Amino acid sequence: MKFLSALLLLALSPTQTVAFAPANNHAVVSAAPSSTSLQMGPPSPKSLLTETYGEGSRKYRRTVYTHNEWVKHRSSDRFIRNISSMINSGVYKSLGGEVFVTTAIATFLVVFNALTGGYTDFDGVQHEAIISSLPQLTLPLTPFTLLSPSLGLLLVFRTNSSYGRWDEARKFWGLNINHTRDLNRMATAWYGNEGDPWDGTEFMGAPSSKAQAIDPAERQYLLGQISLMTWAFVRSMKRHLSPPDEDEEDYIAEMNSRLSPEQAEAIISAVHRPNRALYDLSVAIEKLPMHFLRKDELNKNLSIFEDTLGGCERLLSSPIPLFYSRHTARFLSTWLLLLPFAMYEPFKGSWNHVMEIPAIALASLFLFGIEELATQLEEPFTILPMQGFCDKIGANCDEIVGWRGQGLDE
């Protein structure tokens, strides 16, 4: 019952298929503005038509909400606003061909049955069939009624699976955000802490080393490398998960602008760039003056980064089983293509059954829309604001390593 209720809400409410949710770029703080911080929200009026729907529109769906967007999202006029924006919906524009075909079939059926079964003119006068030798084309409604629950379950499972993939990808990036902060916080707080210099106790069988004087310039450089390599990893991961034609040039420009020429070249020329950036981060951790057990704690975050990277690669390379997606699409297409024949009789109360035409158009739009939503969500990375995440991580890490730490508090 829960699944069927969710399907009904998806089919009847256009609020679920609004193409572009509003968002502001100021939700993401960036230490240095990125050339690939794409606009989030609807495309501008000057945008190409191909950027208002389909693949071209995906870069405008990378929404990041703040309090202002949530207020608008739950405002009482959201239904009117979403209904009025239907003609601008990128999801609906993507379905133009499918909806046109089902509507054309319904139109043909109304005209054909009027010619073969008689029609009523504008004055209300009933006329005999013009082509009496051919029967009217109709189908019983019962098979469609019996199949509706099965189709509903297929669509609900399809959308739930796709949303689960989007949610999993978002959680992976959430782990990246959390553990990059954790890594840089621990590196900053523990810098220069190579043991317990006060009571002279032995730790793990080795005498504790005395605290050394901290060189502020060296500290700034080494912690800066931790921050930079952290950013380089997530930025390389973003590039790894993005289409080459969208991000390659900007990625190279950003790496060259923030890293040294040697570091940038090593990462850019690597076969697997995120792995190379993660290796460089390991090297930067190893250079920190702190006890090896503390370095081990820092390296635990890198293992989590490997897990999030591997999880994202799994989602990118493994779609929902194709036979499931294809069967759902075939079932839905056949059901909707034949539906006009079954809906002819139920609309006998309208003039020449003509109201069947807009009814079929709307039914096709909403039901095809559910399948379109699932398809759009199935590959989550080109609709996640990954560039915003990278900018946010870079800004947070730069701020954290700039704090005064061990030996510099006085």
The predicted pLDDT at position 409 comes to: 52
The predicted pLDDT at position 3 comes to: 40
**Intervals of the chain under pLDDT 70:** 1-62, 194-212, 405-410
Query: Quick one: tokens of 155?
Result: 């669509």
pTM, 2 dp: 0.80
The predicted pLDDT at position 147 comes to: 95
Cα–Cα–Cα angle for 44, 46, 47, nearest 5°? 70
Q: How many residues does the chain have?
A: 410
**Residue at token pair 């061909």:** 97
3-state percent breakdown (helix, strand, coil) of the chain, nearest 5: 65, 0, 30
**What is the three-class DSSP state of 291?**
coil
Asked if 402 and 185 count as a contact pair (C-beta separation under 8 A), the reply is no
Asked if 116 and 110 count as a contact pair (C-beta separation under 8 A), the reply is no
The predicted pLDDT at position 55 comes to: 63
The single-letter code of the amino acid at 79 is F
Instruction: Please provide residue 123's backbone torsions phi and psi, each rounded to the nearest 5 degrees.
Output: -90, 0
